Amino acid sequence: MDLNCATVLCATVDDTIYLRFLNPENDDDLLDNGAIDANLIEVFNQNNQEITFTIEEYPDMGMFLAIPVSRGPFMQQSFTIAIEEADSFTMDIETSLPKSGGMLWSLHNLGEF
C-alpha cells in the first residue's frame, strides 16, 4: 500500500488514541471498505511489546483503530503500527498533565506507510 501520513487522522479521548485511515485520493475509509484488513494489523510499543487494540465504529464518522495509552507516568511513548507485515509506520506521542487537569497529547513523527 502506497499511502502517506496525510491519510491518518488522529483524535484523543481519555487514555486512547483513535486513528482513522483514509484514501488520500477520495477519503474512503480503508478499514470500512476492507482495503486494510483489521485482522492483519499489529501494534507494538517502544519496548517491542505487542499492544492489544480494538477496531471501533462510530456512526457518521467511520471505523477507527483504538490504541490504549498509558496515563502515567507522563512521558514520550512510541507505537509501531504494522499493516500486513510489509507496511508499517511509527507514531511518537508525548503525554503531559496540564494545569487545568486532564491530559495533553503531542503527536510527533507520523511516518509514511
pTM attached to this predicted model: 0.72
Q: For 82-106, what is each residue's pLDDT tens digit?
A: 987 678 888 877 766 555 554 444 4
Q: Which of 17-20's residues contact partners 24+ apart within 8 Å by CB, and which partners?
A: 17/66, 17/67, 17/69, 17/79, 17/91, 17/93, 17/105, 18/56, 18/64, 18/65, 18/66, 18/67, 19/64, 19/65, 19/67, 19/81, 19/91, 20/61, 20/62, 20/63, 20/64, 20/65
Q: Give the whole-number percent of the chain exceeding pLDDT 70.
A: 65
pLDDT-derived band at 49, boundaries 50, 70, 90: very high
